[in-house]
Structure 1
């Protein structure tokens, strides 16, 4: 009996799929199946009923899952005692929302790569709810997105808070316009799609205020929404710091509403039963680098203009 066999059994049982468990452990499905079969031979019990298309835990398998979990936790504790955090290696698959990818993701990856050169990072950009489902299924090690978590088997800890503001093309509304219920119900609103934590928060806010938003278009990309607002397709709500370059340039106006838009917490999501050293380390790096209020240079038109001027002067 080996820990690799126990690990294969544990994740196949908890994720409900041999293929997903194999992806999580970065092995082939045949290798994972072989490890589970070897474990069954070692303990003298069949742990999965393979008589149907999808394997299910037997009674013996159900009894052994909690024990397998405790054994893997002990392995993690042992590794904490005998190795430094700089020994991280392998592959880390994680998810982030688009706002994270456009702001502090480069700093996060740079820092992790510097301190853990043997660890391969594979970021995946998506909306909050799809990311949470991928964490739940074990397809991602962790995710950073708006929350809170919707699934009982996923836990989240707050890593940042983002303020939002309304945005419009200057030809549609003046910058001193205060959006009230009547304006918000008459203007075309561009939102994120249903899988967005932001859309869920705004819909809850509107319902609490008795406001029926006239949503005429939904999009799953912040950058695409900016382009749509720039073309005066409608107004939208965007992260305040993210919006600043276009406001400073005069191509968009930032607007307040009465009542004001809610702020939104961003969370570090992981499975409640996943206590690997890797996740503790990644959570620490997220805390160190998560800066939602900073505008990245590649989005700031003033920075681009200044760089072009500097090149022209040389």
Structure 2
């Protein structure tokens, strides 16, 4: 729909004269009449009561006038915003989970610095539920966490999928022998911090696996840690098996020091999402767009075997 025609309708309703409207909009009366007829055809309704000797809007036009004014006002606000200085500057309060730290955060920060040199960044690294609470309290402007946030005031967008596997030090469990699942369940299982979505899902999987393997649930041991580095070191020391994305140990898998255990079911993938307030400032949207591109580039170029971009 041509917003110029809507603007013409609003102006005509105010001035109540085709000639006066033509002068105000620097057009001819014939052009104004043509715009109104085109708008009527698109709306499939008559706006001008042409049976009246005096200028008069139809009842339906009077009803639509408020909506038309809202469209015109919104268009003018959009044009005004577009004319504002485009430089992105100010302070961005960014919160990310550690999974992002161990993947594409460095690339993201480099691109933010290159694209927006006047942007200052305050970085917070924490668990998803803490980041969500701080975003809701407007202590953070943009967060990248596990899963989105269910809120009318917050926009959530999935960025990447991190497939999770059973990771162990080579030789810890003999994959050639039968009963691998039973032996895994009798080994400490390492996962993310307690209360996180991956930890809760792992608890459910372990309970089902233990039930199928006829192993008392109290005999299973799940060790939770918010530190990916700590989990990786414990696996390296032979402490237990980790349920983490293979991305975090790609080098150790490639070298043969770590292996992926062929145990089913595989823990569900981690979906990393970006969340920001729906009325966020331009600098936040600029940072969000850079995050979207940085994550996609990382997935496509650096770690296509271990991470998948949503877009």
Classify 1:218/1:117 alpha carbon distance in 2 versus 1 (closer, same or farther; 3 Å).
same
Distance 1:132 1:191 in 2: 21
CA contact (8 A) 1:184 1:214 kept: no
CA contact (8 A) 1:177 1:256 kept: no
Q: Show CA shifts across 1:134-181 (max 9, x none).
A: 111111101111113266654421011111111112231135678865
- Residue 159 of structure 1 is matched in structure 2 by 159
Distance 2:171 2:274 in 1: 39
- Residue 283 of structure 2 is matched in structure 1 by 278
- Residue 192 of structure 1 is matched in structure 2 by 192
CA contact (8 A) 2:166 2:266 kept: no
Post-superposition offset of 1:210: 6.6
Q: Which range is displaced more, 172-181 or 184-193?
A: 172-181
Post-superposition offset of 1:229: 0.8
- Residue 293 of structure 2 is matched in structure 1 by 288
Distance 2:200 2:75 in 1: 39
Post-superposition offset of 1:193: 1.4
- Residue 121 of structure 1 is matched in structure 2 by 121
- Residue 83 of structure 2 is matched in structure 1 by 82
Distance 1:179 1:286 in 2: 44
CA contact (8 A) 1:103 1:292 kept: no
- Residue 3 of structure 1 is matched in structure 2 by none
Distance 1:76 1:256 in 2: 57
Post-superposition offset of 1:80: 3.5
CA contact (8 A) 2:190 2:223 kept: yes
Q: Residue 236 of structure 1: which of 242, 252, 261 is its match?
A: 242
Matched, 1:99 2:105: no
Classify 1:142/1:191 alpha carbon distance in 2 versus 1 (closer, same or farther; 3 Å).
same
Q: Give me the CA root mean square deviation.
A: 3.0
Post-superposition offset of 1:266: 0.7
- Residue 5 of structure 1 is matched in structure 2 by none
Matched, 1:251 2:257: yes
- Residue 68 of structure 2 is matched in structure 1 by none
Distance 2:294 2:128 in 1: 20
CA contact (8 A) 1:198 1:264 kept: yes
CA contact (8 A) 2:167 2:246 kept: no
Distance 1:176 1:137 in 2: 52
Distance 2:184 2:233 in 1: 20
Give structure 2 stretches of 5+ with no counterpart.
1-73, 212-216, 304-311
Q: Structure 1 length normalisation: TM-score?
A: 0.62
Q: Structure 2 length normalisation: TM-score?
A: 0.62
Distance 2:284 2:262 in 1: 39
Matches within 5 A, 1:1-314: 77=78, 80-83=81-84, 85=86, 87-149=87-149, 153-174=153-174, 181-206=181-206, 212=217, 214-271=220-277, 273-290=278-295, 291=298, 294=302
